[in-house]
Amino acid sequence: MQTATKPRDAPLSARDLAAALAIVVIWGLNFVAMKFALREFTPFQLGAARYVFAALPLVLFIKPPRLHWKWVLLFGLLQGVGQFGLLFTALQVGMTAALASVLMQTQVFFTALFGYLLLRERAGRPLQLGMLLAAVGIACFCANFLAPHSGSSVTTVLGFVLNLGSAAMWAASNIVARKAQEASAGFDPLAFVVWSSVVPVLPFILLTLAFDDPATRWRWTSASWTDWLAVAYLGWMATIAAYGMWTGLLKRHPANRVAPFSLGTPLVGLAAGLLLLGETITVWQWAGIGFVIAALACVMFGGRWIALAQKPR
């Protein structure tokens, strides 16, 4: 007698909906936690601490992934040192948590660009339109630096460039993860993330020793419990817990049903930056935010809209 299994096209249960909303909130508040932790730690110190928490204690209980070590190394360097090293630095030198939460979503379009250049993946019409809208949004962010304004939170050109670089690094790590999955028949996403979290720790420590002011190197010992709580949030909640729940949703439901929830992350990040950190946003920045979110919506729902428009009445 065969046991009935839940079809993947079944509606999300109340438990799955709660998990999806929890992920959106956790990832949205992630940027506030970064800003808070950077008041005490340098970007490289925060990077090392985040990945120590992300790796421990799970690395002691989860077996290494069954694939070539080069994929774990590449993913750890790109997603760890590249993405978060640049993002933490951007937040310190001139980027608000609110805007960072939106700009990081451009990784969708960098992923499409890298997929075309490296994997010869063609972009459909929704993605093409989304990339165009995202480009207009980035142009609005650039125009903000040329237009005189007052009363806004401080953002700098360097912070903006580093933030986009961080999104590009995230996209590059997406390509590596995709190649790693193709190279392993029994790909385990959680084991892959946990063991790749070990990789950035040593590079971040070496970067701290090389570039941080010697007077700041021992902030680890003087940090308050609230600072370490922020680091634990980044490592355990935003990295392991949220990613684990996200992977579970993707295993139980089609990606096109789960992915739209990611649109909530920049909205939560925006609200958290404005309400919890008192950040402000200029007119040009609001325009850029609108175009980027419209671009994401186009990518998420564009195929469905086209299918409905072409459906015979």
Task: Give percent of the chain above pLDDT 70.
Answer: 88
With respect to residue 220, please indicate whether it lies within any of the assigned structural domains.
Answer: no
Average pLDDT, whole number, for the chain?
85
Write out pLDDT tens, residues 232-253: 999 999 888 887 788 777 667 7
Domain membership of residue 6 (yes or no) is no
Residue 142 is encoded by which pair of tokens?
């650039």
Mean pLDDT score, 214-225: 77
Q: Are 100 and 269 in contact (CB under 8 A)?
A: yes
The boundaries of the domain holding residue 269 are 14-213+227-310
Instruction: Return the structure tokens found at 195.
Output: 């063991």
97-150 confidence digits (pLDDT tens): 999 999 998 988 888 888 888 877 777 788 888 889 989 999 999 988 887 654
Of 218, 162, 173, 166, give the one whose Cα is nearest residue 45.
218
- Note the pLDDT tens digit of each residue in 42-63: 999 999 999 999 999 999 999 9
Question: What is the reported pLDDT for 313?
Answer: 62
Beta-strand runs (E) in 36-162:
none
Indicate the number of domains in the chain: 1
State the pLDDT confidence band at 8, using cuts at 50, 70 and 90: low
Tokens of 26: 């956790």
Transcribe 231-292 into DSSP letters.
Answer: HHIIIIIIIIIHHHHHHHHHHHS-HHHHGGGGGHHHHHHHHHHHHHS-----HHHHHHHHHH
Please give the pLDDT value at position 166: 96
Residue 3 lies in a domain: no
pLDDT value of residue 43: 95
Q: How many helices (H) and strands (E) does the chain have?
A: 16, 0
Q: Is residue 1 part of a domain?
A: no
* Residue 3 clears pLDDT 50, i.e. is over it: no
